[in-house]
């Protein structure tokens, strides 16, 4: 069986050729104009970034190398005895554009487990942090500190050829992905479970089997949910704040650890990854206010109360999507297949909110997308399975988003992409340009 690195090595030349051709034959072709709205409106819709692994269609949602989430669910290998695609399988697809065989995925799981232990100084660093420090702050610190052993940084200092950049970047990316479960589980343990035993890496388990184990959850359903969650959150094209941050920082040839640490702090914002924490907080407040007898009318009133107080409805709306998020739909299907989840009041409330919220948001008339994004349900399922500390939820998103961000860092180095440096303008400069 060919390894991930060998497979990647094989696909790189064709991509390099494709880029060269695009540059020489179509370098001056226009992909659209830049409007003043683009410049002052957070660059929404501006086609200005190269990102290989996935493309987001406003109506269909995400496709990974052309495959939809249901395609991936059918084709990507699961764990032994499991049904949900493994994040290792998704990583393989993102990096190579190919579907791995089961044997290749097992080999990758074993490699990740082999590399999964944290260095002692990182354990010491995390253990020294106050449990009151937000878990995302801790995660970003741990990831940044792992750059002590960066292969890219060491090789760059020695002086390597540009064509060798990607192999060192790849090595760092695999090491980082391997270590994220132990790092993230340690943060959970220190904050919420101090005193309980913290298991080490089990070499026989897959990446998320180990993560669930180290978090202290032996529940196979939760492990399967985490595999699905982490696989489908892996990449969402390049313009979202975390992915864009990793790409921008990586473009300075900062190593993958520093690049991804920066990305995590973008993910930690409430308009981005923190939304899954916010959804649960908001849902619990709604549940408390409307009591056990949930009706559409009561949910509607609560939605209006949220909107009239000037807040956003968390878990609804999106910068690009204009339909219900297929990631939301995949997680809902996971719930629909499990009677215990369907009986959960939290999951029921998610379902009923979905029946009412789009209508209310349309009537409110502000958001361009009145439909749920993935955050509308993701945390509620974790809550049901006993992972109730919602301040921690964005960390799980952070374990996942590494797949896409780090894939792109490997591709950026393999394709020799340059330092990112867009042009900014002052309002006076914009006015001058309009008059000219």
In the set 168, 244, 318, 384, the catalytic residue is 318
Q: Which residues contact 402 (CB under 8 A, 6 or more apart)?
A: 176, 177, 180, 260
The CA–CA distances, whole Å, from 43 to 213, 221, 268, 290, 320 equal 41, 40, 20, 39, 11
State the DSSP string of 342-393. HH-HHHHHHHHHHHHHHHHHHHHT--S--SB-THHHHHHHHHHTT---GGGH
| E strand spans, 10-151 | 54-57, 61-64
Closer residue to ligand FCX in complex, CB, 318/413: 318
State the nearest-atom distance from the C-beta of 235 to ligand FCX, in Å: 12
Q: How far apart are CA 150 and CA 103, in angstroms?
A: 29
Q: How far apart are CA 210 and CA 226, in angstroms?
A: 11
Q: Which residues contact 377 (CB under 8 A, 6 or more apart)?
A: 315, 328, 331, 332, 335, 347, 350
364 catalytic per annotation: no
Alpha carbons within 13 angstroms on the beta-carbon side of residue 340 total 7
Closer residue to ligand FCX in complex, CB, 26/368: 368
State the nearest-atom distance from the C-beta of 42 to ligand FCX, in Å: 7
Enter the tokens of residue 304.
């209006």
Enter the tokens of residue 83.
């049904």
Closer residue to ligand FCX in complex, CB, 303/335: 303
Closest CA to 234 of 359, 384, 377, 399: 399
In the set 168, 272, 325, 384, the catalytic residue is 272
State the nearest-atom distance from the C-beta of 43 to ligand FCX, in Å: 11
Closer residue to ligand FCX in complex, CB, 100/398: 398
State the nearest-atom distance from the C-beta of 327 to ligand FCX, in Å: 8
Q: How many CB atoms lie within 10 A of CB 160?
A: 14
State the DSSP string of 150-187. -HHHHHHHH---GGGHHHHHHHHHHHHHHHHHHHHHHH
Closer residue to ligand FCX in complex, CB, 167/242: 242
Q: How far apart are CA 58 and CA 45, in angstroms?
A: 10
DSSP letter at 84?
S
State the nearest-atom distance from the C-beta of 391 to ligand FCX, in Å: 16
Residues near ligand FCX (CB under 6 A) are 240, 271-273, 275, 307, 312-319, 366-369, 373-375
318 catalytic per annotation: yes
Question: Taking CB positions, which residue lies at the least distance from ligand FCX?
Answer: 317
272 catalytic per annotation: yes
State the nearest-atom distance from the C-beta of 361 to ligand FCX, in Å: 6
Closer residue to ligand FCX in complex, CB, 77/379: 379
Closer residue to ligand FCX in complex, CB, 147/346: 346
State the nearest-atom distance from the C-beta of 11 to ligand FCX, in Å: 29
Task: Give the residue numbers marked as catalytic.
Answer: 272, 318, 375
């Amino acid at each position: 069986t060919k390894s991930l690195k060998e497979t990647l090595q094989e696909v790189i030349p064709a991509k390099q050729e494709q880029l060269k051709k695009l540059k020489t034959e179509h370098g001056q072709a226009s992909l659209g104009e830049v409007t003043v709205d683009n410049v002052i409106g957070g660059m929404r819709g501006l086609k200005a970034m190269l990102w290989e692994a996935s493309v987001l269609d406003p109506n269909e949602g995400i496709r990974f190398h052309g495959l939809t989430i249901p395609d991936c669910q059918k084709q990507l290998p699961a764990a032994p005895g499991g049904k949900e695609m493994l994040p290792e399988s998704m990583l393989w697809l993102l990096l190579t554009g190919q579907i791995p065989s089961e044997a290749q995925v097992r080999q990758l799981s074993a490699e990740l487990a082999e590399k999964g232990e944290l260095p002692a100084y990182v354990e010491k660093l995390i253990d020294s942090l106050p449990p009151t420090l937000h878990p995302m702050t801790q995660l970003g610190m741990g990831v940044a500190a792992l750059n002590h052993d960066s292969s890219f940084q060491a090789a760059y200092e020695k002086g390597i050829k540009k064509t060798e950049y990607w192999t060192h970047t790849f090595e760092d990316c695999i090491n980082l992905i391997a270590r994220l479960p132990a790092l993230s589980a340690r943060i959970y343990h220190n904050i919420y479970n101090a005193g309980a035993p913290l298991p080490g890496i089990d070499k026989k388990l897959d990446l998320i089997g180990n993560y669930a184990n180290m978090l202290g959850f032996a529940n196979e359903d939760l492990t399967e949910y985490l595999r699905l969650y982490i696989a489908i959150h892996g990449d969402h094209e390049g313009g979202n704040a975390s992915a864009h941050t990793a790409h921008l920082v990586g473009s300075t040839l900062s190593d993958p650890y520093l690049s991804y640490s920066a990305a995590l702090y973008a993910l930690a914002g409430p308009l981005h990854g923190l939304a899954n924490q916010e959804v649960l907080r908001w849902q619990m407040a709604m549940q408390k206010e409307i009591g056990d007898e949930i009706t559409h009318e009561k949910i509607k009133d609560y939605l209006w109360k949220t909107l009239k107080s000037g807040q956003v409805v968390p878990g609804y709306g999106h910068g690009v999507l204009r339909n219900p998020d297929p990631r939301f739909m995949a997680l809902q299907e996971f719930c629909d297949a499990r009677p215990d989840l369907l009986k959960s009041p939290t999951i029921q409330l998610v379902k009923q909110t979905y029946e009412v919220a789009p209508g209310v948001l349309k009537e409110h008339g502000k958001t361009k997308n009145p439909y749920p994004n993935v955050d509308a349900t993701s945390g509620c399922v974790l809550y049901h399975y006993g992972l109730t500390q919602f301040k921690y939820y964005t960390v799980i998103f952070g374990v996942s988003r590494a797949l896409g961000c780090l894939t792109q860092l490997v591709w950026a180095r393999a394709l020799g992409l340059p330092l990112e440096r867009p042009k900014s303008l002052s309002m006076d400069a914009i006015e001058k340009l309009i008059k000219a």
